[in-house]
Every structure is written in C-alpha cells, then in structure tokens.
C-alpha cells in the first residue's frame, strides 16, 4: 500500500475527497460549518470541534442528541453520515474524514518494513464493538440517578451519583484526535499557540492516532477502530449489505484469481483470505474502493444487489 | 439439544472484545482521574444565590498524569462551556481572573459577541439562557519564579455585570504546585 502515481491516478476521486474533507471541515477552511453558522447567524468559530462526531454519537445514545440538533443543526452531519452508510457504505469514513485520511496518507509514505501489519488476521469487529460498548457505558451510567453539574469533565458535564461512585467519565474529549488535527492545522497556518498546551489524554491520543495507529500501521487507520462514528457506520453498513437495494463492495469468486492484490491495498484491514478467494469484513470496510480499482480480474465491484461472498 | 462448541474464532473474538472493552473502561477511569487536574471544566451560574452554588476549584499538579508532568509541566489549563444566567433580568457578562499576576492566555470561542480587551460578552445574556457554542480555555503559563512555590495561583474567576460592574458571582481557584520544588 503505497502512494505512487499509479495509485493516485486510479483513485483520484478519493484523494480529491481527502482534500475536500479538509476544505469542508477543518478550520480555517471549514466550508460546511461556516455555511451552517452563517445561516444560523452564529459567531462561533467553525473548527473541526464544531462537527465533533464522537460526542454526537454519544448523545444519540443518551438522548441528548435529539434536543441538541434543534439548537446545533451542525450535529445533523453525523446522522447523515450514518444514514448514507446504510445505503452506500461508510463513505464519510473512506472518502472525507480528515482524521482518517491524514493518517492513511502518512502511512502510505512510510516504508512497509516499518509498519505493523496484522491485516487479515484479526477480527476488527471484536475490537471495534468492544470499544464501542466501553465508550457508551460511562455515558449511559452517567445518566442514572439525579444529575448535578460537576467539576472536571467536559463531555459528561452532569454526573449522576452512579458515575461519581464508580469514578468514571466520558472519553470523548479527553482522547480527541479531532483536537490534534485542528491544533496541527492551526499551528501550520500561523497560530503557533495552538500547540502550547498538552494534557496527558492529548499526548496519548497523539501517540496512538498519529504514530502507532497512523504512520506506523499498515493502512494508517488505527484510530478508525476506536471512532464511534466509524463503528456505528460500519454496524449499519453491515445490516445494509444484507439487503439487495443497498450499495456495497461485492466479490465474484468465479473471477477471483486469489492474487492477493486487493488485500495489499485495503487500508482498513477489511479483506481476509478465504478458500481460494477472499472475503470482505463489513465491520471494517469503508467502501474506499481501493480494492475495486486494484483488482485486474474485475472480481470486485461496487454496486447494488446481494452480497456474492459470505461476509465475515 | 446440540452441544455448544466454542471455536477458536469465537475464543479470539471474545478475547479481543473483552480486551477492547476493558481498555476503554480503563481509559474512562483514567479520564475521570485526570479531569480534576488537567484542563478541568467547570460550570458558571450567576448570580450566586440562584442555581447551584459555585464549587471552589482546587488543582493539585501532583495529580496530573505523568506524561503531562514530564512533557508539558509549566502550563495549566481550565475550561468552561457553560455560563448560565439564572437571574430574572439580562446581564452583560464580564469575566475577570482575580489576583492573577502570572501570564494567562484566554482562548474564547462563542456564538456570542466577545470583546477580548474588556473580557466582556458585549450583548446581554437573557434570563435562563447560556452562552451558545461556548468554549473558553484559560491557559496559564507558570513563570520560573513561581515554579518553586507551593501555591502557584490563589484567586478566582469573578463574573461581573459588564454595565454596572456589580459582582454577580465568584469561583475561588487555587493551584497547588508543590512538586515544582523538585523540578524547578
Ligand atoms: S472511522 Fe472515524 S476516524 Fe476513521 S474515517 Fe471514519 S469517521 Fe474518520
Ligand atoms: S474492502 Fe475494498 S472498499 Fe472496503 S475498505 Fe478494503 S479496499 Fe476499501
């Protein structure tokens, strides 16, 4: 999985999507938050935080979301990404998200021998859903019992007695890769103060998102494993793939030469070897279509219809 | 009844699932611990006497995570997303860090007009309302001459009426920096 001219040409629309992801969501560009804030007459800075999809997903499960979208319509973006994922696959993840696209691009520049690679060998679904339950539990427990404003937590500002007794807090803001991306871009665009404050959670996030799960991971998409929007998008995509009218990456075993080309280009570790063929893990596939453009036998297509291969 | 057989794949799945779950819950516990000393978030209700009383903020830098203490020891941050007017009348919100002689950077982002010179939201905040889309970070830079002291800052955040100057609320803030004696 390299970033050479051939790959760029083959997947030009996708890499253009990466650029648009930055132009759409990251300050100082941030076209989408700008438009929404303009229409709302809001003076808030349209940073990547304003579209924070981690907190948005948490709120979807704690009920707060449905009242928040009235005053913060920008939060609709995450819901749109999830609905799109049902019908077309997690396109936001694979084509637009600045957090995932940045590390994927950097990982492509890293020599293969320096990268961690267990692709095809681990069940990312297990890791992702384990994380997701752990992500939601503190938020849901934090709703039990009367809530009081508490000192200390940003993403769970009202702690219940249960949450306080257990000593748990939400993890959205403490470990936030969106902050890291925004701070780096702020710094690169002249706001040198953006990198002056580093808290422990920020340092841990930076190390995992950018280095271990990014630059030095095959595919560079380690952060996506622990991204609530990514997990939820893949969960609904998985359900969607069971239905004939949705779009998905389909594999035709009769055309497959088992050359492994597709496995070598999948940034999401979603292609597993199967008997004389491959299978696609719907809990990981971000419909990036890198495999579709790499397969010279035409065994992979992105289209509607029923799955040809049993999803793992 | 068919015998239930645990396959190797199920075992691996369960181990990875439980491992990821435990790691995330561990992250949650650690997050709750760090929240008291690193970029602590607090609520501001004013005027005092109405709504929840202000909770004094005490930051002990000994309780910060070791990564921060090693890599970024001399900055302390506080933050709020919630300034709420519990009065029956509108107020212009003016903020002031009382007794503060050390350098502090105010990073203010809000969907409400803010004047950085007077540290005032220049439009009145209606009763029962909070400042929309609010994020204020106070980044405190601990100067060398303070690093050896046991108390780095002892003051608080005052909320004043921007028109009359009347004090509407006060949140005491103390930053204990005892470990600075060794590092400074
Ligand atoms: S999984 Fe999350 S971080 Fe990864 S691409 Fe999708 S939204 Fe972005
Ligand atoms: S299976 Fe294909 S479309 Fe899905 S993430 Fe991998 S390369 Fe992209």
Is A138 within 8 Å of B28 when comparing Cβ atoms? yes
A91 CA distance to ligand 2 middle (Å): 11
Of all residues in chain A, the one with the smallest CA distance to B61 is A199
Q: How confident is the model at residue B52 (pLDDT cuts 50, 70, 90)?
A: confident
CA–CA separation, A154 and A163 (whole Å): 14
Write out pLDDT tens, residues B74-94. 999 999 999 999 999 999 999
Mean pLDDT taken over chain A: 91
In a domain, B181, yes or no: no
CA–CA separation, A73 and A126 (whole Å): 33
Q: Give the DSSP letter string of A86-102.
A: HHH-SHIIIII-HHHHH
C-alpha count within 13 angstroms, C-beta hemisphere, residue A94: 28
Segment A66-78 mean pLDDT = 90
In a domain, B93, yes or no: yes
Q: Render the burial of A50-61: b for 16+ CB within 10 Å, e for the rest.
A: bbbbbbbbbbbb
Longest dimension (CA), chain B: 80
Q: Which residue has the higher pLDDT, A159 or A65?
A: A65
pLDDT for position A168: 81
Residues B31 and B94 in one domain: no
- Domain extent at residue B145: 38-176
* Residues B95/B135, Cβ–Cβ less than 8 Å: no
| A110 close to ligand 2 (CB < 6 Angstrom) | no
Q: Is the pLDDT of residue B148 over 50?
A: yes
In a domain, A252, yes or no: no
Would you call B82 an interface residue with chain A, using a CB distance cutoff of 8 Å? yes
Segment A167-195 mean pLDDT = 90
In a domain, B184, yes or no: no
Q: Which residue has the higher pLDDT, A52 or B163?
A: B163
Give the residue among B10, B15, B168, B174 at the shortest CA–CA distance from B90: B168
pTM: 0.91
In a domain, A260, yes or no: no
Q: Scan residues 143-182 of B and list those with Cβ closer than 8 Å to A.
A: none
Residues B22 and B43 in one domain: no
Indicate the number of domains in chain B: 2
In a domain, A149, yes or no: yes
- Residue A28: cis peptide before it, omega within 30 degrees of 0: yes
Q: Is the pLDDT of residue A312 over 90?
A: no
pLDDT for position A157: 66
Residues B48 and B11 in one domain: no
Choosing from A267, A270, A309 the residue with most ligand 2 atoms within 8 A of its CB, the one to mutate for a pocket test is: A270
B114 CA distance to ligand 2 middle (Å): 46
In a domain, B182, yes or no: no
In a domain, A269, yes or no: no
Q: Is the pLDDT of residue B184 over 50?
A: no
Out of B18, B68, B107, the one facing A200 most closely (by C-beta) is: B68
Q: Which residue has the higher pLDDT, A174 or A151?
A: A174
In a domain, B67, yes or no: yes
In a domain, A99, yes or no: yes
Closest atom of ligand 1 to A227 CA is: 2
ipTM of the shown complex: 0.92
Task: DSSP letter for B56, please.
Answer: P
A285 CA distance to ligand 2 middle (Å): 5
In a domain, A287, yes or no: no
Q: How confident is the model at residue A171 (pLDDT cuts 50, 70, 90)?
A: confident
In a domain, A209, yes or no: yes
pLDDT for position B142: 95
In a domain, A311, yes or no: no
In a domain, B159, yes or no: yes
In a domain, B10, yes or no: yes
Would you call B74 an interface residue with chain A, using a CB distance cutoff of 8 Å? no
Segment A185-213 mean pLDDT = 94
Of all residues in chain A, the one with the smallest CA distance to B113 is A43
Closest atom of ligand 1 to A97 CA is: 8
Write out pLDDT tens, residues B29-46. 999 899 889 999 999 999
Would you call B67 an interface residue with chain A, using a CB distance cutoff of 8 Å? yes
pLDDT for position B5: 79
To the nearest whole angstrom, how far is the Cα of A251 from the nearest Cα of chain B?
Answer: 23
Indicate the number of domains in chain A: 1
CATH number at residue B109: 2.60.40.10
Give the residue among A272, A267, A269, A295 at the shortest CA–CA distance from A10: A295
Of all residues in chain B, the one with the smallest CA distance to A166 is B29
> What ligand is nearest to the CA atom of residue A287?
2
Residues B106 and B48 in one domain: yes
Q: How confident is the model at residue B181 (pLDDT cuts 50, 70, 90)?
A: very low
CA–CA separation, A246 and A232 (whole Å): 17
Is A175 within 8 Å of B27 when comparing Cβ atoms? yes
Question: What residue's CA is closest to ligand 1, atom 4?
Answer: A224
- Domain extent at residue A190: 5-243
CA–CA separation, A125 and B158 (whole Å): 49
B13 CA distance to ligand 2 middle (Å): 21
How wide is the angle at C-alpha A31 spanned by C-alphas A16 and A302, nearest 5°? 35
| A77 close to ligand 2 (CB < 6 Angstrom) | no
Write out pLDDT tens, residues B112-145. 999 999 999 999 999 999 999 899 999 999 999 9
Residues B3 and B82 in one domain: no
CA–CA separation, A66 and A9 (whole Å): 42
Q: How confident is the model at residue A161 (pLDDT cuts 50, 70, 90)?
A: low
pLDDT for position A311: 41
Residues B143 and B162 in one domain: yes
Residues B20 and B94 in one domain: no
Write out pLDDT tens, residues A1-53. 667 888 899 999 999 999 999 999 999 999 999 999 999 999 989 999 888 88
Residues B20 and B44 in one domain: no
Residues B55 and B30 in one domain: no
Residues B12 and B89 in one domain: no
Residues B75 and B135 in one domain: yes
A99 CA distance to ligand 1 middle (Å): 7
Q: How confident is the model at residue B1 (pLDDT cuts 50, 70, 90)?
A: low
How much of chain A exceeds pLDDT 90, in percent? 71
Residues B145 and B95 in one domain: yes
Write out pLDDT tens, residues A226-260. 999 999 999 999 999 999 999 999 999 999 999 99
Strands B114-115 and A300-303: unpaired
In a domain, B22, yes or no: yes
- Residue B47: cis peptide before it, omega within 30 degrees of 0: yes
B18: three-class secondary structure by DSSP? helix
């Amino acid at each position: 999985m390299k970033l050479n001219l051939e790959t760029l040409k083959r997947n030009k629309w996708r890499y253009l999507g990466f650029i648009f992801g930055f132009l759409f969501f990251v300050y100082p560009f941030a076209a989408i938050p700008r438009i929404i804030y303009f229409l709302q007459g809001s003076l808030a800075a349209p940073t990547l935080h304003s579209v924070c999809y981690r907190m948005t997903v948490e709120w979807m499960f704690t009920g707060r979301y449905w009242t928040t979208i009235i005053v913060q319509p920008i939060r609709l973006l995450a819901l749109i990404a999830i609905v799109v994922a049902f019908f077309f696959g997690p396109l936001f993840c694979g084509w637009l998200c600045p957090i995932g696209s940045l590390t994927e691009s950097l990982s492509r520049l890293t020599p293969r021998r320096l990268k961690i690679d267990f692709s095809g060998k681990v069940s990312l679904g297990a890791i992702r859903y384990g994380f997701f339950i752990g992500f939601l539990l503190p938020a849901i427990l934090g709703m039990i019992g009367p809530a009081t404003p508490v000192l200390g937590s940003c993403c769970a500002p009202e702690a219940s007695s249960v949450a306080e007794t257990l000593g748990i807090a939400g993890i959205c803001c403490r470990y936030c890769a969106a902050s890291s991306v925004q701070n780096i871009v702020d710094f690169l665009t002249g706001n040198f103060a953006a990198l002056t404050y580093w808290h422990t959670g920020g340092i841990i996030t930076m190390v995992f998102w950018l280095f271990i799960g990014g630059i030095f991971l095959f595919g560079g998409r380690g952060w996506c494993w622990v991204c609530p929007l990514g997990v939820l998008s893949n969960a609904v995509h998985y359900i969607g793939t069971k239905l004939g009218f949705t779009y998905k990456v389909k594999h035709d075993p009769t055309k497959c030469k088992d050359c492994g080309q597709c496995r070598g280009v999948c940034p999401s570790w979603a292609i597993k070897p199967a008997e004389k063929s491959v299978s696609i893990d719907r809990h990981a596939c971000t419909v990036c279509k890198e495999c579709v453009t790499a397969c010279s036998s035409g065994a992979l297509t992105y289209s509607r219809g029923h799955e040809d291969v049993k999803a793992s | 009844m068919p015998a239930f057989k645990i396959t190797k794949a199920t075992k691996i799945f369960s181990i990875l699932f439980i491992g990821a779950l435990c790691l995330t819950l561990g992250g949650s516990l650690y997050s709750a611990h760090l929240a008291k000393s690193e970029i602590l978030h607090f609520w501001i209700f004013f005027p005092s006497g109405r709504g929840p009383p202000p909770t004094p903020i005490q930051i002990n830098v000994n309780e910060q995570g070791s990564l921060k203490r090693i890599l970024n020891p001399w900055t302390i941050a506080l933050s709020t997303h919630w300034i709420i007017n519990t009065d029956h009348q509108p107020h212009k919100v003016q903020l002031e860090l009382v007794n503060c002689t050390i350098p502090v950077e105010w990073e203010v982002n809000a969907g409400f007009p803010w004047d950085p010179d007077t540290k005032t939201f220049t439009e009145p905040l209606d009763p029962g309302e909070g400042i929309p889309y609010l994020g204020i970070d106070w980044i405190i830079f601990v100067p060398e001459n303070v690093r050896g002291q046991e108390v780095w800052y002892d003051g608080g955040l005052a909320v004043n009426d921007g028109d009359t100057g009347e004090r509407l609320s006060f949140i005491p803030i103390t930053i204990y920096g005892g470990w600075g004696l060794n590092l400074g």
